[in-house]
Structure 1
Amino acid sequence: MAKEVARREIESMRAADADRHTVAEQLKSALDEGRLSLAEYDERVRDVYAARTYADLMPLVADLPKPGQSAAEVKGRRADEVRREARRLPTALMVLWTIWGSVAAVNLAVWIIVATTVAGDLYPWPVWLLVPGAALAVTTVGVQTIRRRRRR
C-alpha cells in the first residue's frame, strides 16, 4: 500500500522539460529500432510535449523495452525471472529451514563443548536432528515439484 501511495505521489508530480526530452529520445530510439511506426511516433511525441505530469508521460513508453534491447533479450530476462522465482522457496519453508539450522547449530555446539569437557565416550545426540532435517528436505522437494508442475 505504501508503494501505491508513493507511486500516486510521483505520478501527480509535474514533469520537467528534461523529462519530456528523455521520453522523446526513448521514443526516437524505438522508432529507429522499428518498434513504432512513423504515425505512432508522431502521435506519441505530440503527447509527450503536451504532458504535464509523470502520469501523462509514463503510459507513452510503458509498452517499450529499454533502448537497444532486442525482443530475445527481453524474453530471456523474463524467463530468467520466472526460473528464479520458481527456485525460490516459499516463506514457510524458509522459516522452517532457519529454525532447523539454528537448532542443529546449537545442539552441535553444545555437544562439542560437552564432548571436550567430559572424559570418556559421549552419545552423539545431534545425529537425531537428521530425522526432522530429512523430513524437511523431502517436504521441500515435494513442494518444489508441485510448484514446477503447476507452472507448466
Structure 2
Amino acid sequence: MPNSPEMRASDGDRDRVAAVLREHTAQGRITMDEFNERLEQLYKSRTYGELARLTADLPDVDLRHRPKTSKEVEKKHDTHAGMKAAWGAWAMASGINWVIWLIVSMSSGGDVYPWPMWVMGPWGVILLVSTIFGNNQPKRQQ
C-alpha cells in the first residue's frame, strides 16, 4: 500500500530524506544554505506530503542501492571498539610488566628471567587469532 501524503512520517523516514538532501548537497544540486533550510523544515515535518515537498525539485535517489561512501566502506573493515579495547589493555599490561621487570633487573644487579613474555605471549596470541579469524563485529542485542 503506497503511503498517502497525510500519513505520519517516522524518524527513520526523516533520516532517509536527510540522507537524500546530504547526497544532493554533495553533488552540488543545492547549496549549504538551502540544505540547512531544508533540514530545518525536515525536522518540523510530520507527514509524507511535507517530506515530499522538500525533495520535489530534486531527482530521485534510491537510498537502498546508493553507492557506499568511503566512510561506510572504511567502517566495514574497521575493528569494533571491543577489540580495540582488548588490544589496548594487552599493550598497557605488557608495558607495565616490562617496566617492573626492568626495575627488578636493574635493582638486583643480575640477570632476571624475562617473565613478562609469559604474560603477554599467550594473551597476545589469543588476541591475534581473534583479530585475524574472528568476526570483529560487535554482537547485536536482540
TM value normalised by structure 1: 0.46
- Structure with the larger helix share: 1
